[in-house]
Structure 1
């Protein structure tokens, strides 16, 4: 697996984040990504930006993210547009 990461913006006790992971897992292998969780509670800017929309996934650019709800297929299309 490569060192490219799909970032999951999350926080402690986020039940929707567990649901999102079910959609995320199939795409990690397909795109050779690892999952990196970032707790938005540790960052005031991320809390302000994503506090009401987590789980959110991205590739590092906080202005280009995919917010929940998303399906595995929607995530695949989002990743394909950015990585292929």
Structure 2
């Protein structure tokens, strides 16, 4: 079974991104997933795609949240995956 991956699209000086990262780090205490952080400012395509939406969260490639990230909604999407505890 492959590990679930959450990708956080972010940029520097983004308070909502910082809050989203904290929420995802808290979820890692309960759920087994890899966390990848991508700075959209490293790519013109990503900046064009997500510039007004960040932070954006993808779960195994599927967009599951943007803007204000709801920790509980992400947790619900992780249900059915392996828990650490």
Same fold (TM over 0.5): yes
Larger Rg: 2
Give every structure 1 segment of 4 or more consecutive aligned residues whose post-TM-superposition deviation is greater than 4 Å: none
Bigger drift between 27-36 and 5-14 goes to 27-36
Structure 1 gap segments, 5+ residues each: none
Change in CA separation of 1:47 and 1:60 when aligned onto 2, cut-off 3 Å: farther
* Between structures 1 and 2, the one with greater helix share: 1
Q: Deviations over 1:13-40 (max 9, x none)?
A: 1121111122212222322123211011
SS at match of 1:31: coil
TM-score for both structures, normalised by structure 1: 0.74
State the alpha-carbon separation in 2 of the partners of residues 60 and 14 from structure 1.
23
Q: 2:43 matched to 1:43? A: yes
| Pairwise CA RMSD | 2.4
State the alpha-carbon separation in 2 of the partners of residues 54 and 70 from structure 1.
10
Structure 2 gap segments, 5+ residues each: none
Query: CA shift at 1:9, angstroms?
Result: 0.3
* Between structures 1 and 2, the one with greater strand share: 2
